[in-house]
Structure 1
Amino acid sequence: MTLFRSTTLPVLALVSMLAGCDMLGIETPEKRSGEGKAIGAACRHAGRAIEDCYTLNAKGDKSAIYAGWREMDDYMRENKLEPVIPVIKPEDLKPKPKPKPKPKPEGEGDDGGAKADAGADEKPAKKASGH
Structure 2
Amino acid sequence: MRTSLATFLLLLAPVLGGCDQIGAALELPNPKKEAAEAEAEGRAIGSACRYSGRSLEDCYVLNPSAQKSFVFAGWKDMNDYMMEHKIDVVPSQLPQTVPPPKAAPAAPAAAAH
Q: Normalising TM by the smaller chain, what interval?
A: 0.5 to 0.7
Contact kept, 8 Å, 2:42 with 2:70, in 1: the verdict is yes
Which segments of structure 1 move beyond 3 Å, counting only runs of 4 or more?
1-7, 18-22
State TM-score, norm by structure 2. 0.63
Structure with the higher fraction of residues in helix conformation: 2
Structure 1: state its 5+ residue gaps: 94-131
Unmatched segments (≥5 aa) in structure 2? 1-5, 28-32, 100-113
Q: CA deviation at 1:56?
A: 0.2
1:6-65 Cα deviation digits (max 9, x unpaired):
75344223121345589xxxx722112111111110000011111110110001122211
The amino acid of 1:89's aligned partner reads P
Alignment size in residue pairs: 89
Select the residue among 73, 96, 99 that pairs with 1:67: 73
Larger Rg: 1
TM-score normalised by L of structure 1: 0.56
Rounded to whole Å, the distance in 2 between the matches of 1:52 and 1:92 is 8
Matched, 1:45 2:46: no
Structure 1 position 84 matched with structure 2 position 90: yes
Identity, in percent, stands at 34
Residue from 13, 16, 25 that aligns with 1:11: 16
RCO (CA 8 Å, sep 6+): is it higher in 1 or 2? 2
Change (3 A) 1:68 1:3: farther
Structural mapping, 1:94-105, within 5 Å: none
For the aligned residue pairs, the C-alpha RMSD in angstroms reads 2.8
Match of 2:41 among 19, 35, 45: 35
Secondary structure of the residue that 2:43 maps to in structure 1?
helix
Kindly provide the amino acid, as one letter, of the partner of residue 19 in structure 2: L
